[in-house]
Structure 1
Amino acid sequence: MRAMRYERFGRPEVLVEADVPAPVAGPGETLVRVEAAGVNFGDIKQIAGEHTDGPYAPRGPLPRVPGMEVVGRTAAGRRVLGYVRQGGYAEQTVVADRDLVALPEGVSAGEALAVLVQGLTAWHLLRSVARIRPGESVVVHAAAGGTGSLVVQLAREFGAGRVIATASSDDKRAFALEAGADAAVDGAAEGYRERILDANHGRPVDIILDAVGGPVLDGALDALGYLGRLVTYGASSRQPASAIAPGRLAVDSISVAGFWVVPLIARDGAGGAALAELLDLTARRRLRPLVGAEYDLARARDAHEDLLGRRTKGKLVLRP
């Protein structure tokens, strides 16, 4: 079967098309013929060799086929959404039954892929970690991305009083406003606090969800109000942030937390109430996942380069 694999660690150019043996499902697994595969930053980190242990770590020696999420059909013809640790960039893959769910009618492949890793991340950022309360203000960094655009919509769905988006360009900020943000501002570190407070009518904010890191994270702390919460779940800037002094957290009564959805999936499986709610909201058009560019499987390298270059909006999809 056709697949994209990497034989050494490195940048996206190490991905090559190859003819590989079809996988065989074992006990508690299902073989899925892949209709579409999702692209994530985690895939890029895997082929770069940045995750050699922990939940992101692939199984077995090189070469490997990356890809964590797929939509496809079982041998019985059932259309499903599945999470895999690796192997999604292929015409067929094997999915553990605990990580496989049936797709409701009216949910496209791209939408389903968007609400798996990224949708679950958005849901848990707001519900499990930030513990959003009705009326609170929420700042969403990188709000035009796959996760950010879902956070904007879910914050509104969960009763946020004001949703403020940050993004790096005018068109991305315009998209965030269309997704439901009340305000959208430049997310650069310089002048960050002033822009956020201005967007929140001069008041500090309750929740900030950060996937950028570096100096932006440092600036975000200055924009939090009493009992404010900052949740970090990525570092797309690839820049270090300053050390956070515990005394400052105590004096300002703010908290900083981290979140990574993959360990949660490894522990509980991809199915469950959160994913069921996300798929139901999507089927009822209460949630509109942004599906970005689609690429032929052979162009997986281009998808990775575009994601790294911040030239994308929404969920990127590969089509075998």
Structure 2
Amino acid sequence: MRAIQITGFGGPEVLVQAEIPDPAPRDGELLIEVSRAGVNYADTHQAENSYLSETALPVVPGGEVVGRTPDGRRVVAMLASGGYAERAVARPPQTFDVPDGVDDTTALSMVVQGATAWLLLRKSVHLEPGETVVVHAAAGGVGSIVVQLAKAWGAGTVIATASTEDKRKLALDLGADVAVDSTAEDMTAVLREANGGRRVDVVLDMTGGRVTDQSVAALAPFGRLAFYGMASRETPNPVKPANLLRHSTAVAGMWLPHAYLLPGNVMGVAMAELFALVGEDRLRVVPGGEYPLSQARRAHEDLRARRTTGKLVLDPSR
């Protein structure tokens, strides 16, 4: 089958199309004929082996696919790897039926970006009605969904950050109350000004580095920051416990695979609620572009250069 295979770690240039054997399901795994594969920022870290879990070579990257099982079910699945291919295997607990009327791009957005947004707000920061929420990278895959969920779930003010005027306009169109420049030198001051001079209650951050440090400094008493990515590839300064105590603030981390370890089928609950919101036209996905499988390298280049918005997908048939 056609697939993208990595045989040496590095930047987008290591994504090379190859002919490899079909994956063989085992231990109850499901074989999926892939119609679309999702592209996530985590995939760029997997390519350079800089993410939370180490990668063994050779590897087919890609953590999410949508397609059909041999018995005709249309499903979306989260994978450890193997998504950038014509066929993939998935574990049943990480596989979800796609409702009629939900397109491939929307289905892919729900299983990673949507679930991440849901968990950040429900589990990491425990959003309360009326709170001010800051969404960094608000025009991206996760950010664009967080903006909508925060408003749907009663946030008082949603402050979006984005790097261009077009991206800030998109965030406002999705429901953000204020949109500010993510390249501002003093993010602490910018966030407080956007909130009428007051500190903010919640920050959702996948940028890292300076942005994280300055966002922590913008938190109000009992404010919470949830950190779920490292797009800047800058390491934030260590958070000092004494400062958390001094300001009554909290900093949390969130990695989506851990959701499958929670009792009570949390991911199933999240997916059901997200698909219901989509069906009610209360949640929409921003299509970020569809690339042929053969152009996976270009998709990574565009993503890392911040030339994209919304959800990126690969078409394995091309």
**TM over 0.5: same fold?**
yes
Query: Does residue 295 in structure 1 map to residue 307 in structure 2?
Result: no
Distance 1:265 1:82 in 2: 13
Q: Deviations over 1:89-134 (max 9, x none)?
A: 1111111111111101121100111111111111111110100001
1:41 is matched with which residue?
41
3-state SS of paired residue (2:159):
strand
Count of paired positions:
315
Once the two structures are overlaid, the 10-residue window that deviates more, 84-93 or 255-264, is 255-264
1:319 is matched with which residue?
315
Instruction: Give the AA of the match of 1:70.
Output: V
Alpha-carbon shift at residue 10 of structure 1 (Å): 1.2
Distance 2:60 2:191 in 1: 42
Distance 2:215 2:172 in 1: 20
Residues 115-130 of structure 1: pairs in structure 2 closer than 5 A: 115-130=110-125
2:206 is matched with which residue?
211
1:306 is matched with which residue?
302
Alpha-carbon shift at residue 24 of structure 1 (Å): 2.1
3-state SS of paired residue (1:107):
coil
Distance 1:318 1:243 in 2: 37
Of 134, 143, 150, 2:138 maps to: 143
Q: What TM-score comes out, normalization by structure 2 length? A: 0.95
Alpha-carbon shift at residue 207 of structure 1 (Å): 0.5
Task: Check conservation: 1:143, 1:166, Cα contact below 8 A.
Answer: yes
Distance 1:218 1:246 in 2: 14
Alpha-carbon shift at residue 245 of structure 1 (Å): 2.1
Instruction: Give the AA of the match of 1:205.
Output: V
Task: Check conservation: 1:38, 1:318, Cα contact below 8 A.
Answer: yes
Q: What TM-score comes out, normalization by structure 1 length? A: 0.94
2:189 is matched with which residue?
194
1:261 is matched with which residue?
256
Instruction: Give the AA of the match of 1:99.
Output: Q
2:268 is matched with which residue?
272
Residues 53-92 of structure 1: pairs in structure 2 closer than 5 A: 56-58=53-55, 61-92=56-87
Distance 2:266 2:38 in 1: 15
Q: Deviations over 1:143-172 (max 9, x none)?
A: 000001111011011110110101111111
Instruction: Give the AA of the match of 1:83.
Output: M
Unaligned runs of 5+ in 1: none
1:229 is matched with which residue?
224
Instruction: Give the AA of the match of 1:293.
Output: G
Query: Does residue 281 in structure 1 map to residue 277 in structure 2?
Result: yes
Percent identity of paired positions between Structure 1 and Structure 2: 50
Query: Does residue 251 in structure 1 map to residue 218 in structure 2?
Result: no
Distance 1:267 1:190 in 2: 39
Instruction: Give the AA of the match of 1:294.
Output: E
Instruction: Give the AA of the match of 2:90.
Output: V
2:105 is matched with which residue?
110
3-state SS of paired residue (2:203):
strand
Q: Deviations over 1:63-101 (max 9, x none)?
A: 211111000011122111111111111111111111111
1:164 is matched with which residue?
159
Alpha-carbon shift at residue 62 of structure 1 (Å): 2.4
Alpha-carbon shift at residue 188 of structure 1 (Å): 2.7
Task: Check conservation: 1:189, 1:219, Cα contact below 8 A.
Answer: no
Distance 1:94 1:318 in 2: 17
Could you say if the C-alpha distance between residues 288 and 298 of structure 1 is closer, same or farther in structure 2, counting changes exceeding 3 Å?
same
Alpha-carbon shift at residue 266 of structure 1 (Å): 6.0
Distance 1:31 1:194 in 2: 51
Distance 1:64 1:259 in 2: 25
Residues 27-38 of structure 1: pairs in structure 2 closer than 5 A: 27-38=27-38
Alpha-carbon shift at residue 31 of structure 1 (Å): 0.9
Distance 1:270 1:79 in 2: 21
Task: Check conservation: 1:83, 1:270, Cα contact below 8 A.
Answer: no
Once the two structures are overlaid, the 10-residue window that deviates more, 267-276 or 158-167, is 267-276
Instruction: Give the AA of the match of 1:163.
Output: V
1:180 is matched with which residue?
175
